[in-house]
Structure 1
Amino acid sequence: MNRIIALVVGIVIVLFAASSMVFVVDQRHMAVVSGHGDAEPVLLGPGLHVKLPPPLQTVMLVDSRIRSLDTPDEDRYITSDKTDLLVDPVVRYRVADPLKLFAQTKGDEQTLPDRLALLARSALSDAFAKVTLTDALGKQQAIADEARGAMASAAGSLGVDVIDIQLARIDFPAAMTDSVFKRMSAAREQAASVERAKGVAEADQIKADALIQQQALLAQANLQAQTIKGEGDGKAAAIAADAYGRDPQFYEFYQSMLAYRNTFKPNDVIVVDSSSEFFRFMRSPTGDVTPDAAAAPRKH
């Protein structure tokens, strides 16, 4: 009976030792096998592996997939113009060098998220401290890229690649929301006033330029009109002189007819002296003054 009990105990011990020596690494992980003393840790990929039982050798499984860092839902950062912002960052990373991670964490991978969270906060704090509130709201991707670059160099010493950082949310603390909105509204109103003033100044300048151009065109047109009128008057005078030279009596008759037409209008009543020189072509087609001109009847 004692032999049977001893045999069962021996089998249990052997099975326990065997189970602690054999382990499986799936496709999502890599394993770092380390031992006591000066022995270098060994990196193993997916598959079935054998090791010495603890405490002679231990295994640290490392997730080799791209993972997201669990950060606080809202963390506070301060911009260069001393504005508080609540930011919800999302950090994606991957363990690229498990042996380096093992050396830096002394085989305790559970400390990695906390260390990465500290690095992310430090990088984001530096990035937000360099920009104003306006840039923080309008250049979020640039801020995230700068923080990723700063964090990547520090995370590289842990054997970790930082894939990217996304700013899922940027908001103001509830206590200062109203004051920030009022300040932003005032800034926008000031910018709008400047643009309106600039537009009015440009409109006035355009009107002034147009008026100058108008005056220049009118002056040029008047000059051309005077020139043309002068040329016409000169031609008319030449024509009149030529006509007078050819038939002075007819010229005088024609000029008198024009004067009569311009002087007398329909339904006018005019009382004049018919013996006046002005009416000589009414008394005679040739304009001669006859002895009975003074006796001519008056026109009503």
Structure 2
Amino acid sequence: MRIVTRIVLPIVIIVLLLLSTSLVIVKEWEKGLQLRFGRIVAVYDEPGIYFKLPFIDNVRIFDGRIQTLDTPPEPFLTSEKKNLIVDTFIKWRVIDPEVYYQKVSGNPGIFNRLFEPIVKNNFRAAFGKRDVQTVVGGNVTSKGSKYRDGSKVIVVDKPSDALSLDPKTLEEIHSEDVDIVIRSKENVVPVIAGQEVDLNNTIRQEIERTILVALSVEAKEYGVEIIDVRINGVELPDDVTDNVFKRMRTERERVATELRSKGEAAYIEKVAEADSNRTILLANAYEEAEKIRGEGDAGAATIYGEAYGQDPDFYSFYRSLEAYKNAFQNDGDLLILDPESDFFKHFQQKQ
């Protein structure tokens, strides 16, 4: 029994050790390569359990999840030769571990360092075709407008479709003579320069989509798929920003001064119009009042005349009373007249 134990136990241990070193577990988010003396003998594209020769084969496992290449803010010249500070990033993942290993030894850091200049060059070319106002303003290319005269446009359904384009077209893409646009729901037909196209996207989205396709062509050489391309932000350099703010401030001040001048002119015009209307209204009112007063005086004269005709003595007496009333209506009034004056004749008459 002891002899069996001494023989079997080491064999079992050796078998278990060989099994543990010959099994390779590839998880859902991983991809791998099996190397034998430095030569690739198997590619692990799918998750599962794989076998290898222990102590002979080596296995390299790569992260197949989406990774990020975040480029630092970079100044790019526009078509007007003005700098814009552009912050971008791309999302990528490994799709061909064999090519990925051969190109960058399976190191994502090496890939990022090698691919970053390619990303910058594509963005530099895209911004070099457009002016500051177009990029910063984010104008929308609407239906019925022409894309860019003098450039050829290829519309594809998805980035991978660009990989199957003919070599001549790919060469034109790399020479920046061609723009590639990924078809959106509204895009229905491929177009060339001068034909109508409905991108229904902002200029930034247009740039992102064009670069996404261009980078997908480049990334294929690294065994990598580009998932997304984004522009984090577009800013003007500090000196340009200061100048822009100064121009904006000057323009706002000019507009404010112009508005104030217009307001002052409108105020003066309204005041003059109101004064004119007031003068006219007062003149009309005075004219109407004088007319009414004249009519009243004429009516009163008529009544006085009729009264005088009916009873001249009473009329004379009444008029004298009115004169007395008006002459002595204030305290301290003093009137010096001849007692024989007609003014006092009614005082001298006997009842």
Q: Do Structure 1 and Structure 2 share a fold, with TM-score over 0.5?
A: yes
2:158 is equivalent to residue 98 of structure 1: no
Query: Shift of residue 93 of structure 1?
Result: 0.8
Residue of structure 2 equivalent to 1:149: 209
**Is this contact kept in 1: 2:92–2:226, CA < 8 A?**
yes
Q: Give the structure with the larger helix fraction.
A: 1
Residue of structure 2 equivalent to 1:283: 344
User: Counterparts in 2 of 1:103-114, with a 5 A limit?
Assistant: 108=104, 112-113=111-112, 114=114
Task: Give secondary structure in 2 for the equivalent of 1:153.
Answer: helix
**CA shift in 2, pair 1:273/1:190, >3 Å:** farther
Query: Shift of residue 234 of structure 1?
Result: 0.6
The alignment covers a number of residue pairs equal to: 251
Q: Deviations over 1:119-174 (max 9, x none)?
A: 344225533763438974x76xx67544422322223334321153313x84636x
Residue of structure 1 equivalent to 2:127: 127
Write the letter of the residue equivalent to 2:29.
R
**CA shift in 2, pair 1:135/1:148, >3 Å:** closer
User: Counterparts in 2 of 1:33-182, with a 5 A limit?
Assistant: 44-50=45-51, 63-71=63-71, 73-79=72-78, 81-87=80-86, 89-95=87-93, 98-99=95-96, 108=104, 112-113=111-112, 114-115=114-115, 117-123=117-123, 126-127=126-127, 130-132=130-132, 136=136, 145-157=205-217, 158=220, 159-162=225-228, 164-167=230-233, 170=235, 172=237, 177=239, 181=242
**Is this contact kept in 2: 1:92–1:163, CA < 8 A?**
yes
Task: Give secondary structure in 1 for the equivalent of 2:65.
Answer: coil
**Is this contact kept in 1: 2:74–2:85, CA < 8 A?**
yes
**Is this contact kept in 2: 1:33–1:59, CA < 8 A?**
yes
Write the letter of the residue equivalent to 1:191.
R
TM-score by length of 2: 0.52
TM-score by length of 1: 0.59
Residue of structure 1 equivalent to 2:176: none
Query: Shift of residue 30 of structure 1?
Result: 3.5
Query: Shift of residue 223 of structure 1?
Result: 1.4
Residue of structure 2 equivalent to 1:230: 291
Name which one, 1 or 2, has greater alpha-carbon Rg: 1
Residue of structure 2 equivalent to 1:6: none
Give, in whole Å, the separation in 2 of the partners of 1:221 and 1:33: 108
Query: Shift of residue 219 of structure 1?
Result: 1.2
> Which runs of 5 or more residues in structure 2 are unaligned?
1-13, 36-41, 139-201
Residue of structure 1 equivalent to 2:307: 246
Instruction: Among all aligned residue pairs of Structure 1 and Structure 2, give the percentage whose two residues are the same amino acid.
Output: 17
Give, in whole Å, the separation in 2 of the partners of 1:156 and 1:187: 41
**Is this contact kept in 1: 2:73–2:88, CA < 8 A?**
no
**Is this contact kept in 2: 1:128–1:143, CA < 8 A?**
no
Q: Relative contact order: is structure 1 or structure 2 higher (C-alpha 8 Å, sep ≥ 6)? A: 2
> Which runs of 5 or more residues in structure 1 are unaligned?
1-10, 35-40, 289-300
Write the letter of the residue equivalent to 1:25.
V
Task: Give secondary structure in 2 for the equivalent of 1:130.
Answer: coil
**Is this contact kept in 2: 1:69–1:117, CA < 8 A?**
no
Give, in whole Å, the separation in 1 of the partners of 2:231 and 2:101: 23
RMSD of equivalent CA atoms: 4.8
Task: Give secondary structure in 1 for the equivalent of 2:89.
Answer: strand
